[in-house]
Structure 1
Amino acid sequence: MARNRGVMSDQLKEELAKELGFYDTVQQEGWGGIRARDAGNMVKRAIELAEGQLANKENK
């Protein structure tokens, strides 16, 4: 069975991890090494960015 591709690109995940301050953990331990809270914060921030982009498109 084929794995589903993730919604977020690796580049976006890395940028968010840097912004949120846990990129060093990702580099040392991989994505499995981050805390659930960090993963949740990353998803929350990605949603905020997407909503902002959508609002900008609607206002144009």
Structure 2
Amino acid sequence: MGRHKGIMSDHLKEEIAKELGFYDTVQKEGWGGIKARDAGNIVKRAVEMAQEKLANQQKN
């Protein structure tokens, strides 16, 4: 079974990892080095950001 291309850009994941404070682990060990909880927090934050963006678009 092949790996699927992620929906989130690497740039967005990196920015969120920096915001959440574990980007140094990503730099040292790659994405496989982060905890499952941290991966879940990336997804959670990305969803929050998308919801905020959608809410702002609906206001305008």
Common fold by TM > 0.5: yes
Question: Unaligned regions of 5+ residues in structure 2, if any?
Answer: none
Following superposition, the deviation at residue 6 of structure 1 comes to 1.0
Output one character per residue of 1:2-50: Cα deviation in whole Å (capped at 9) or x when no partner.
Answer: 7532111010000000000000000000000000010011100000000
Alignment of 1:46 with 2:32, yes or no, is: no
Equivalent runs, 1:28-43 vs 2, <5 Å: 28-43=28-43
What TM-score results when the alignment is normalised by the length of structure 1?
A: 0.91
**Structure 1 match to 2:56:** 56
Report the more deviating stretch, 4-13 or 37-46: 4-13
RMSD over aligned CA atoms reads 1.3
2: CA distance between counterparts of 1:42 and 1:18? 10
